[in-house]
């Protein structure tokens, strides 16, 4: 089937396209900026059409020969997002009719009734009505909070819970929500092209198996993430407007996005039906529970953060994993210290120095600082620096090295160490060798994944020493290689 995906560089679209490709569909992606698709692993497998649904430019050409259109565009983040969304939906609906498209699939929000519906949910509902009242049959999937790294709602939940062990909370944390895992959203979306007869033109609630309050979601997130229970202090006077600014201050989610999302949380969002199962069976094994969805997101983030290494462009295939097109504010907080140094020595000479770090030779910078860190670690029950190393010149995968563990070693290229000292988080140290002109390039990266507020505070406390410790380490390793060449 020939399919057009709008919003392919967005959170959901970027994860849906490879599923459609794997099902054998011919996929075309409509985008205003083709460069945004360049670094995505699946981009060579799709046809790219340049256009803009908001202006109508390029839509007719993009729809040529298309059978099914996915509408995954949302102007959230703009002051006039509701007006832009209405115009964009009408442009697409009219062009789809002229092009002979057989179905439009739209991912919207929950249906909420009443005079005080938030601007965000009202806009979602308006777009749904535009497609359902158009000539081309539409499938509207209505989801509340989507659980997965990169989802704006999930990012707010993540950062609020991780950064605030004690929270002053507004009334909306007691409202019930029925979240859904990103993998289940994609399950329904990917099945849509062949699932619905031509006469089906309606909306469907899609939701996970758990109905929770926002407060319960924060507490369960904390438990899955290994954090202590959060202390929540409800304050009825904290309005949605004030809440949005509070969320914008505490989390990296931009105010322009947090404001309409927080405004939507004043409404309960519980599915009223599960009619989608009449056309698309539930995923094998059933719908994903909240705890499992969070666990998948956190595990993928922790693994890919280090494995992505220097370029942040590894091939990531699971829905919970980050993608290059995800916004800069999404994903778990990751602190890094990166150093690069051109070395006037061969890669072999530089590698010999790297592989001999630790033990009797030390860490090539500020010995007293390393010693103090080891003493402090032992004082709190850690391993300290007493383990040394097995061999003064060679390392093996999995062996101990002072208060590190060799997690990855590629002889002549890469040494990755995982910290085993007592920390409020997880830490790695990478050292890499690359050929460079007549010598070599030394690349050093320290990575820290904080755990809770204590983790953020720990990183802030050690940052002032990084220039001496890590900067000195990069300089002295390079100099040692130059002396030994």
| Confidence at residue 437, expressed as pLDDT on a 0 to 100 scale | 86
Give the model confidence (pLDDT) of 383-412 as tens digits: 888 888 889 889 999 999 999 999 999 999
Instruction: Say which residues have a Cβ less than 8 Å from residue 152's Cβ, sequence separation at least 6.
Output: 11, 76, 253, 257, 258, 261, 330
- Is the pLDDT at 426 greater than 90? The verdict is no
- Is the pLDDT at 300 greater than 80? The verdict is no
Q: What percent of the chain has pLDDT over 70?
A: 87
Instruction: Report the alpha-carbon distance of residue 194 to residue 370 in Å, rounded.
Output: 61
Nearest to 67 by CA among 101, 41, 31: 101
What is the value of pTM for the model shown? 0.74
Q: Are 429 and 412 in contact (CB under 8 A)?
A: no
- Is the pLDDT at 315 greater than 70? The verdict is no
Q: Are 373 and 366 in contact (CB under 8 A)?
A: no
pLDDT band at 474 (very low <50, low <70, confident <90, very high): very high
CATH code 3.40.50.300 for 335-484: no
Report, as an integer, the average pLDDT of 149-166.
84
Instruction: Report the alpha-carbon distance of residue 172 to residue 161 in Å, rounded.
Output: 15
| Confidence at residue 171, expressed as pLDDT on a 0 to 100 scale | 76
Instruction: Report the alpha-carbon distance of residue 314 to residue 336 in Å, rounded.
Output: 18
- Residue 256 token pair: 């322009």
Architecture of the domain spanning 2-307: 3-Layer(aba) Sandwich (3.40)
Q: What rounded mean pLDDT belongs to the chain?
A: 86
311 by Cβ neighbours in 10 Å (0-12 / 13-18 / 19+) ranks as: exposed
Higher per-residue confidence, 246 vs 205:
205
**What are the residue ranges of CATH 3.40.50.720 in the chain?**
2-307
- Residue 140 token pair: 């509207």
Residue where the block lists tokens 């983790």: 455
**What are the residue ranges of CATH 3.30.530.20 in the chain?**
335-484
């Amino acid at each position: 089937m020939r399919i057009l995906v709008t919003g392919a560089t967005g959170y959901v679209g970027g994860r849906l396209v490879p599923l459609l490709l794997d099902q054998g569909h011919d996929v075309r992606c409509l985008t205003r900026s083709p460069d945004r698709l360049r670094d995505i692993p699946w981009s060579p497998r799709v046809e790219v059409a340049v256009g803009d649904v908001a202006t109508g430019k390029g839509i007719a050409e993009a729809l040529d020969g298309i059978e099914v259109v996915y509408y995954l565009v949302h102007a959230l983040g703009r002051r006039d997002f509701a007006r832009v969304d209405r115009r964009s939906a009408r442009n697409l609906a009219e062009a789809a009719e002229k092009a002979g498209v057989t179905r439009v699939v739209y991912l919207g929000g929950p249906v909420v009734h009443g005079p005080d519906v938030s601007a965000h949910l009202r806009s979602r509902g308006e777009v749904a009505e535009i497609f359902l009242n158009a000539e081309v049959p539409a499938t509207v999937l209505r989801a509340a909070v989507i659980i997965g790294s990169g989802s704006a709602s999930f990012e707010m939940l993540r950062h609020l819970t991780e950064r605030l062990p004690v929270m002053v909370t507004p009334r909306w944390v007691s409202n019930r929500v029925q979240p859904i895992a990103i993998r289940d959203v994609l399950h329904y979306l990917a099945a849509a092209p062949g699932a619905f007869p031509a006469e089906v033109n309606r909306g469907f609630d899609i939701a996970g198996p758990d109905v929770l309050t926002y407060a319960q979601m924060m507490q369960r997130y904390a438990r899955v993430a290994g954090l202590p229970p959060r202390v929540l202090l409800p304050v009825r006077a904290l309005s949605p407007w004030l809440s949005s600014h509070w969320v914008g201050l505490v989390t990296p989610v931009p105010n322009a996005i947090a404001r309409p999302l927080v405004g939507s949380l004043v409404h309960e969002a519980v599915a009223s039906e599960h009619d989608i199962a009449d056309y698309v069976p539930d995923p094998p094994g059933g719908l994903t529970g909240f705890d499992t969805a969070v666990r998948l997101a956190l595990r993928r983030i922790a693994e890919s953060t280090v494995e992505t290494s220097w370029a942040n462009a590894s091939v990531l295939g699971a829905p919970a994993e980050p993608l290059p097109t995800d916004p800069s504010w999404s994903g778990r907080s990751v602190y890094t210290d990166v150093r690069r140094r051109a070395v006037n020595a061969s890669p072999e000479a530089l590698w010999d120095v790297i592989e001999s770090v630790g033990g009797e030779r030390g860490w090539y910078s500020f010995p007293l600082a390393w010693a103090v860190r080891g003493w402090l670690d032992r004082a709190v029950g850690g391993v300290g620096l007493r383990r040394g190393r097995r061999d003064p010149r060679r390392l093996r995968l999995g062996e101990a090295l002072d208060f590190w563990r060799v997690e990855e070693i590629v002889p002549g290229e890469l040494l990755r160490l995982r910290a085993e000292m007592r920390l409020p988080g997880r830490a790695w140290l990478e050292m890499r060798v690359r050929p460079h002109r007549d010598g070599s390039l030394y690349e050093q990266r320290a990575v820290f994944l904080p755990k809770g507020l204590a983790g953020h505070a720990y990183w802030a406390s050690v940052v002032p020493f990084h220039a001496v410790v890590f900067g000195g380490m990069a300089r002295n390793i390079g100099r040692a290689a130059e002396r030994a060449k």
